[in-house]
Each structure stands twice: as C-alpha cells, then as structure tokens.
Amino acid sequence: MEEKSNNKDATTIDSIKKSNYNVVLQILLLVLAIALGATLAFRVFYVDHEDTTMVLRDPKFKIEAVSSSSFSVLTRYVHPLIMYNPDNWNLTFSVQNPNNNYDFYYNDFKANISYTDTLLWSANVFDKYHQDAKDQSLIDSTFAALPEAYEYWIGTSIAGDFVSGQTTRFSVSLSGKIQISDRKSCSHTSCRKVEVSCGGLRVENLQDSTQTGVLVVDSSKACAVISQDSTC
C-alpha cells in the first residue's frame, strides 16, 4: 500500500511539473507574440509610412568645392591687389533628397554670394531639376567675375583681416521652389519655397612670402534649410 501511495505521489508531482512547464511555455510564447506584434506595428506605422504619415524632410545642401580659378588677393602691399579675377568660376553643391517616398522637382534655384550684406555674385543653380527619393547629386553653379567696383574694397577688407589674424568669410544663399511628388499617391503633389544659407566659403591666407589669400571652402559644413508651404 505504501509503495502504491509513493507511486501516486510521484505521478502527481510529475503532473504538477509538466503543468508548470506548460504555463511557463505559454507565457514565453505570449511574450514573444506581443514583442513580434509590437515590432510589426512599429515597422508599419513608423518606418514604412515615415514619409507619408509623419515628417516630410527638406533637401540637404552643402558646398563641396570651389573651382581652382577663384580669385586671389595679394596682401603684402599697401594697396592690396586682386591678382586674378577670372571671367567665371564655379561652386559645386551637393544636394540630397533624404525622403523614402517623395521625389523632388527643383524650380528656379538661384545662388547669391555676399560680403557684409553686400551682394557680390549671383547665378542660376538650376532652372528645372528632378531628383528621386534618397538620391544625392552634385550641381555646379557658375559665377561671373567679381565686379571691378568691389575689387579695391574687398582687397582692403581681406588685407585688414589678414593683419588682425581674422578670416574673411562670405555668405552663400540659395532660394527656389520645390514640387514634391508622393510615390504612393501619384496624384498628390505639393510645393514649398526653400531658403538655404551656407557657411564655409572663406579666404584662406597662405603663410608664405607672398601672403596670397585664396578662396576656399570647408566642405564639412552643411547648409541650413528653411522651407514653407507654397502654391505650385
């Protein structure tokens, strides 16, 4: 009788253990199912529809390079000289569309270069340009020679900065309009006016016997972009 009782108790304990294992397994499966569901929900509502339900990102601009034909200023004399003032020279901009589901159509983009709020150069960047989602492009903008009326003033300013150990910097701005096309709804388009402000264009004074200042860019600096809704 005692042996039968022991066997019965052992069977009961095994049943309880199996029951506990089943409960634990069910809890683990439930937790995994909840985690998987949460992951899928995040994917659907926050990643796949990031561009359409949350944020439409502005394009990203940056000055990448200036052509080697940029003007240079000799500062060693009492009256600074513009040594080379070419008929035209280039700035190269990188333009990126950071969106997953939107194409950009750029219209009538112009670039201005100023010094102490005085406009020195102006040029068209592109009249019409299409950029697919996630694309990045390099765009050249050609500027005419520095106006002769400003040569002495700019040369004197650069020379003064050189003597005082400061850096002469120019302000670069771009403006235009973007038409935005939604890839998930071809009939849906909208437009924005875009204002871009770039730093990084400066005169670098070479420490040599001629003390020649040359126009260079800092390509590590991204431009600031401000946009607002507009009619198309």
pLDDT tens profile 98-127: 999 999 999 999 999 999 989 999 999 988
Together in a domain, 30 and 75: no
Q: Are the CB atoms for 192 and 231 separated by under 8 Å? A: no
Residue of higher predicted confidence among 86 and 90: 90
Q: Are the CB atoms for 191 and 178 separated by under 8 Å? A: yes
21-27-31 Cα angle (round to 5): 145
DSSP classification of residue 53: I
Together in a domain, 38 and 82: no
Q: Are the CB atoms for 194 and 175 separated by under 8 Å? A: yes
Together in a domain, 62 and 41: no
Together in a domain, 73 and 27: no
pLDDT at 180 over 90: yes
Average pLDDT in the 43-57 region? 58
Together in a domain, 171 and 214: yes
Together in a domain, 44 and 64: no
Q: For residues 180 and 199, what is the distance between their CA atoms, to the nearest angstrom? A: 27
Together in a domain, 28 and 138: no
Together in a domain, 98 and 200: yes
Q: For residues 132 and 101, what is the distance between their CA atoms, to the nearest angstrom? A: 9
Other beta carbons less than 10 A from residue 202's beta carbon: 18
pLDDT for 146 equals 87
At 1 the three-state DSSP class reads: coil
Q: Are the CB atoms for 162 and 211 separated by under 8 Å? A: yes
Percent of the chain with pLDDT over 90: 40
Q: Are the CB atoms for 226 and 195 separated by under 8 Å? A: yes
- Identify the band that residue 221 occupies on the pLDDT scale cut at 50, 70 and 90: confident
What is the residue range of 217's domain? 57-230
Average pLDDT over the chain reads 82
pLDDT for 52 equals 47
pLDDT at 163 over 90: no
- Identify the band that residue 151 occupies on the pLDDT scale cut at 50, 70 and 90: confident
Domains identified in the chain, total number: 2
Q: Which of 102, 103, 111 is nearest to 61 (CA)?
A: 111
Q: For residues 190 and 229, what is the distance between their CA atoms, to the nearest angstrom? A: 8
pLDDT for 2 equals 46
